[in-house]
Structure 1
Amino acid sequence: MKEAIFDDLDVSRETFERLTQYVELVKRWNPKINLVSRKSLEDIWNRHIKDSVQVYSCAGSFENWADLGSGGGFPGMVCAIMAIEDAPEARFTFVESDQRKSAFLRNVARECGAKCTVVSKRIEAVEPLNADVLSARALSDLRTLLSFCDRHLGKKGLALLPKGERWKKELEEAQEEWKFDVDPITSLTEPQAVILKIKGVSRG
């Protein structure tokens, strides 16, 4: 089973071992602070890890990555673990207002050697991060996410926003208020879902 997962992810052995360590930490902490649903925990490699690896694969080169509403660390912590080998000079900032989830993220970073800072504040209260890449998963509707992008994404930055089967409706609603370039990438794990690659965010 483990070998099949490793082959499916297309990552190095070292990265896979770090991801395995992360999965074990999620399982250990989850009963206390509900990082992911019990049902999705049973399929964590497919539902959370593989999805997050796909987000990372969409990023290209970067130096400064911001993950908003980080929760249990998907996709941000997975991307930070991927970057240990792939982009060792890159910096990650996780914004998570829940103190217990912030403590979990700091623990994972120490255990797995991920290079990141955890900011325990509300997104609106954080100074602009000027990120090259911004990610957020299961945080809010697209219209609200774009307001966060407007604040925290650099002028030439890229937002990577996983969205479920309602993504087209969210896109239409967001385009009433915002201008942006968008490229929907079909999810590898859920055919009705996408990763929205967004650039050039400005008020409509």
Structure 2
Amino acid sequence: MTPAEFQTKSGVSRETLRRLGLYADLLVKWQAKINLVGPDTLPDLWSRHILDSAQLFPLIPATAKRLVDLGSGAGFPGLVLAVMGAPDVHLVESDSRKCAFLREAARVTGTPVTIFNKRIEQVAGLDADVVTARALAPLGKLLDWAFPHLAAGGQCLFLKGRGAEDELTATAKEWNIGLRRIPSLTDPAGLVLQLHEVRRG
């Protein structure tokens, strides 16, 4: 996927596309020093990582005031969503080298974010309207981590692969959730899980 194809698919402005391009260029540069993404995914960066993250943006409620991204890694999906205009984005990442990259990417793209260089369990509740995560952990563990950060009426947006249904089944005994399954734009076997009314069973 080219940047132009990404713009057509996502509908972002030229200015947002320019900033995402700066981010992508920086990632390629840093990838030579530290492993930010799977090396085999780098040639398809715009689809595998940037569009995969950007597909969450239309699902963020217009009333949302804060977004928390767990296990941000190289910034997918949290930093992409921040560049696109998500409000008050907080990125939680325990790897200090990846946090250094996130700080530089935020600076280069002119994107205000708050970065926590901590383990998720060490971050006090952030009262978020939206909690996101991608390729981080099984759903049950994600809910354990996300729940303390969810504001009343908040929702989770989790990018999941082919094991999503098995993970949903495994969590049914411990969690009561409202659920919307949304087919992934980038993975034929993948789903976006939009979870609301999250509470322990």
Deviations 1:135-161 (A, max 9, x none): 011110000001112111112111000
Instruction: Answer yes or no: is the 8 Å Cα contact 2:73–2:98 preserved in 1.
Output: yes
Q: In structure 1, what is the equivalent of residue 129 of structure 2?
A: 132
Q: How many angstroms does 1:9 deviate by?
A: 2.5
Point out 4+ residue stretches in structure 1 off by more than 6 angstroms.
none
**Structure 1 residue 176, shift from structure 2 partner:** 1.5
Matches for 1:4-23 after TM superposition, within 5 Å:
4-23=5-24
Contact 2:3 2:17 in 1 (8 A): no
Q: Does 1:36 align with 2:37?
A: yes
- Identify which of 188, 191, 196 aligns with 2:193: 196
Structure 2 regions of 5+ residues with no counterpart? none
Q: Partner amino acid for 1:135?
A: T
Q: Quote the sequence identity (%).
A: 43
Q: Partners of 1:8 and 1:54 in 2: how far apart?
A: 9
Corresponding residue for residue 138 of structure 2: 141
TM-score, with structure 2 as normaliser: 0.96
Work out the CA distance in 2 between the residues paired with 1:5 and 1:149.
Answer: 29
Structure 2 counterpart of 1:75: 77
Secondary structure at 1:78 match in 2: helix
Where does residue 24 of structure 1 map in the other structure?
Answer: 25
User: What are the superposed Cα offsets for residues 62-90 of structure 1, whole Å, 9 maximum, x if unpaired?
Assistant: 1111001000000001000000xxx5xx2
C-alpha offsets along residues 89-118 of structure 1, whole Å, 9 cap, x if unaligned? x21110001100001101111110111010
Paired residue type of 1:55: L
Alignment of 1:111-130 (within 5 A): 111-130=108-127
CA displacement at 1:44 relative to structure 2: 0.6
Structure 2 letter corresponding to 1:57: P
Distance 1:22 1:12 in 2: 15
- Residue 163 of structure 1 aligns with which residue? 160
Matching of residue 102 in structure 1 with residue 99 in structure 2: yes
Q: TM-score, normalised by structure 1?
A: 0.94
Q: Name structure 1 gaps, 5 residues minimum.
A: none
Equivalent pairs counted in the alignment come to 199
> Contact between 1:149 and 1:201, CA under 8 Å: does it hold in 2?
no
